[in-house]
């Protein structure tokens, strides 16, 4: 199957023949599990797509309204059909959240301990239902169940972290300008938060926004991606089960533009937390300007991955596969532009090709699957266009390069894990966020050249480099214009550390001791005696 797909008409044969590695890899690359999609099962009957749809729709009185489909990206099958809500429902949700902030979740009535207790109950419910939540996540997003399980556990960790942070919100006492004056700096919740989240991490992008918001004493209206609303509804359901007031955690999905306009335009919403594309981030920022809302943005990336000549090549190759192909390449911190020192370029490419031969495309619920589908047809078109453009402009296709159909019943949006060499810096696959399973290799000769190419982008989210030199560990770490830098590591996220971008990759940060500050405002109280 791989041979047939690799020689698809979109990619010319001549490009393949320029690369010896392509010929050695073709026959051993297994893309197919050849198994029909497994039937999902749920231990908790309240967490099935059907039960969650009903839970969501019971929030609003919207009988007879148009529906939108939630589909399994691996098979194209409809998982759920939800009411397509818009500005009217967003306004209702904001009003409820505003009311809850004044009443049931009023920071003057709810103690830090009570917020901690509720968050811990929510965390427990997430962990108890982790298997069902991971199944839902895989069904609507397509990622392998192992990755979905890690994401759910990470979401629970996030809630646990912010539960603790709820008890650590403190202030300062400062000297006043007068002799008999002291000034207290209080930290108070900003109020209603609008959280707009993407489909690539449908679970953890929500917990890292709702967790700190609730811990700080805010209430929240979540607008998840319409591609993956079920994980968000499940989280909302479990939050209500954990004892948060219904108005305190609201969810609305459907017409993204209309809901976004309502959340950003409402004077009752005091903060927007967004993860998604830079284009939509700019729009939300502009829309929020009229009411001077606080805004946190976690936007696109164009992550460099630099392999110096003194790097441990096996370790770097394994890390690159983990970073560049994670979630089929659909993470904002995926390595997009791989810079490899001329001396080790061929050996490194060979190692990558060897390891990629062991990857398996398939349905995420099939345990043998290492890589699932892309989220939708538009994503598939974009990745294919990037690869085609690169090969036509002289890049060498070493592995993959085409759409795939890995088995019976899997007519979804699959693209083969792909390795390109001889990629030029102006090719789209290199200079744009690719969001597909594509590794694009470019040779370099000096540290200065690598750093200049790495920084030559409007993005600044994550960057990685591999070296055994202590000097480079510092000079390159300090020279990279990025919010997160991995030196001999690609694991640059965690609850204890700040996550946020430089330049057009974002504003503010999530997680760590800094994360909760985004949901608090300072008040100076002058006590004169």
Under the binding rule (CB under 6 A), the answer on residue 225 touching ligand ADP is yes
Q: How far is the CB of 229 from ligand ADP (least distance, A)?
A: 9
Pick the closer one to ligand ADP by CB: 134 or 280. Answer: 280
Under the binding rule (CB under 6 A), the answer on residue 277 touching ligand ADP is yes
Q: How far is the CB of 208 from ligand ADP (least distance, A)?
A: 15
Under the binding rule (CB under 6 A), the answer on residue 283 touching ligand ADP is yes
Q: How far is the CB of 43 from ligand ADP (least distance, A)?
A: 29
Interface with ligand ADP by CB under 6 A: which range of 91-99, 196-204, 333-341, 477-485? 196-204
Between CA 305 and CA 326 the distance in angstroms is 14
Residue pair 390/427 in contact by the 8 Å Cβ criterion: yes
Instruction: Determine which residue in the list 191, 260, 417, 436 makes contact with ligand ADP, applying CB under 6 A.
Output: 260
- Please state at what angle helix 112-128 crosses helix 130-141, rounded to 10 degrees: 70
Under DSSP, is residue 485 helix (H, G, I), strand (E, B) or coil? strand
Pick the closer one to ligand ADP by CB: 115 or 382. Answer: 382
Instruction: Determine which residue in the list 257, 282, 367, 522 makes contact with ligand ADP, applying CB under 6 A.
Output: 257
Q: How far is the CB of 287 from ligand ADP (least distance, A)?
A: 8
Under the binding rule (CB under 6 A), the answer on residue 339 touching ligand ADP is no
The residue whose Cβ lies closest to ligand ADP is 260
Residues 6+ apart with CB under 8 A from 49: 70, 79, 80, 136, 139, 230
Looking at 298, 433, 510, 518, which residue is catalytic?
Answer: 298
Is 298 catalytic? The answer is yes
Instruction: Determine which residue in the list 73, 189, 198, 412 makes contact with ligand ADP, applying CB under 6 A.
Output: 198
Under the binding rule (CB under 6 A), the answer on residue 134 touching ligand ADP is no
Residue pair 466/491 in contact by the 8 Å Cβ criterion: no
Q: How far is the CB of 92 from ligand ADP (least distance, A)?
A: 17
Helix (H) or strand (E) holding 156: helix 145-166
Q: How far is the CB of 302 from ligand ADP (least distance, A)?
A: 14
Pick the closer one to ligand ADP by CB: 198 or 486. Answer: 198
Pick the closer one to ligand ADP by CB: 184 or 378. Answer: 378
CA quadruple 287, 289, 294, 300: dihedral, nearest 10 = 50
Under the binding rule (CB under 6 A), the answer on residue 280 touching ligand ADP is yes
Identify the sign of the CA torsion 84, 87, 88, 92: positive
Pick the closer one to ligand ADP by CB: 212 or 276. Answer: 276
Under the binding rule (CB under 6 A), the answer on residue 234 touching ligand ADP is no
Pick the closer one to ligand ADP by CB: 68 or 514. Answer: 68
Instruction: Determine which residue in the list 1, 35, 120, 256 makes contact with ligand ADP, applying CB under 6 A.
Output: 256
Closest CA to 399 of 28, 10, 57: 28
Under the binding rule (CB under 6 A), the answer on residue 226 touching ligand ADP is yes
Between CA 220 and CA 295 the distance in angstroms is 14
Please give the structure tokens belonging to residue 76. 């194209």
Give the number of other Cβ atoms within 10 Å of residue 155's Cβ: 28
How does 239-255 read in b/e, with b if 16+ C-beta sit within 10 Å?
Answer: beebebbebbbbbbbbb
Q: How far is the CB of 201 from ligand ADP (least distance, A)?
A: 10
Under the binding rule (CB under 6 A), the answer on residue 346 touching ligand ADP is no
- Phi, psi for residue 221 in degrees, rounded to 5: -115, 120
Between CA 216 and CA 224 the distance in angstroms is 21
Instruction: Determine which residue in the list 32, 141, 197, 421 makes contact with ligand ADP, applying CB under 6 A.
Output: 197
Between CA 134 and CA 232 the distance in angstroms is 12
Alpha helices (H) along 393-501 = 428-431, 447-455, 470-479
Q: How far is the CB of 359 from ligand ADP (least distance, A)?
A: 23
Closest CA to 132 of 242, 42, 239: 42
Residues 6+ apart with CB under 8 A from 279: none
- Name the site residues for ligand ADP (rule: CB under 6 A): 196-198, 223-226, 256-257, 260, 276-277, 280, 283
The residues that are catalytic are 298
């Amino acid at each position: 199957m791989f041979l047939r797909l690799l020689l698809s008409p979109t990619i010319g044969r001549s490009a393949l023949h320029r690369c010896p590695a392509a010929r050695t890899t073709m026959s051993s690359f297994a893309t197919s599990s050849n198994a029909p999609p497994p039937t999902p099962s749920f231990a908790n009957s309240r967490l099935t797509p059907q039960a969650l749809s009903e839970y969501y729709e019971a929030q609003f009185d919207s009988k007879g309204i148009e529906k939108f489909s939630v589909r399994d990206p691996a098979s194209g099958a409809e998982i759920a059909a939800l009411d397509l809500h818009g500005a009217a429902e967003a306004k209702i949700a904001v009003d409820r959240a505003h009311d809850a902030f004044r009443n049931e979740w009023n920071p003057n009535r709810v103690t830090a301990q009570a917020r901690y207790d509720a968050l811990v109950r929510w965390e427990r419910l997430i962990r108890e239902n982790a298997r069902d939540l991971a199944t839902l996540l895989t069904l609507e997003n397509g990622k392998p169940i192992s990755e979905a399980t890690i994401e759910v556990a990470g979401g629970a960790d996030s809630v646990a972290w912010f539960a603790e942070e709820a008890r650590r919100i403190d202030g300062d006492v400062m000297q006043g300008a007068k002799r008999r004056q002291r000034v207290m700096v209080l930290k108070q919740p900003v109020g209603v938060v609008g959280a707009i989240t993407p489909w690539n991490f449908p679970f953890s992008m929500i917990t890292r926004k709702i967790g700190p918001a609730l811990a700080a004493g805010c209430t929240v209206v979540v607008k998840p991606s319409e591609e993956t609303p079920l994980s968000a509804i499940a989280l909302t359901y479990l939050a209500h089960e954990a004892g948060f007031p219904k108005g305190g955690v609201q969810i609305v999905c459907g017409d993204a533009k209309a809901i976004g306009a309502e959340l950003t335009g409402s004077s009752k919403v005091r903060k927007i937390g967004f993860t998604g594309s830079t284009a939509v981030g700019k729009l939300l920022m502009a829309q929020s300007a009229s009411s001077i809302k606080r805004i946190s943005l976690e936007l696109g990336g164009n992550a460099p991955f630099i392999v110096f000549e003194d790097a441990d090549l096996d370790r770097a190759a394994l890390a690159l596969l983990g970073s560049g192909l994670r979630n089929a390449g659909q993470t904002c911190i995926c390595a997009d532009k791989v810079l490899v020192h001329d001396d080790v370029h061929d050996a490194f490419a060979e190692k990558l090709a060897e390891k990629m031969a062991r990857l398996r495309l398939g349905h995420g619920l099939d345990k043998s699957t290492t890589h699932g589908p892309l989220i939708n047809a538009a994503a598939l078109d974009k990745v294919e266009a990037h690869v085609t453009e690169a090969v036509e402009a002289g890049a060498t296709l070493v592995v993959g390069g085409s759409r795939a159909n890995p088995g019976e019943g899997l007519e979804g949006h699959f693209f083969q894990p792909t390795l390109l060499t001889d990629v030029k810096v102006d090719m789209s696959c290199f200079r744009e966020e690719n969001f597909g399973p594509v590794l694009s290799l470019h040779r370099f000769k000096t540290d200065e050249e690598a750093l200049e190419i790495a920084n030559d982008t409007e993005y600044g989210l994550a960057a990685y480099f591999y070296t055994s030199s202590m000097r480079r560990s510092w000079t390159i770490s300090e020279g990279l214009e990025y919010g997160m830098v991995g030196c001999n590591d690609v694991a640059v996220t965690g609850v204890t550390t700040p996550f946020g971008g430089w330049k057009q990759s974002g504003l503010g940060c999530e997680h760590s001791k800094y994360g909760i500050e985004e949901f608090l405002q300072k008040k100076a109280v002058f006590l004169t005696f």
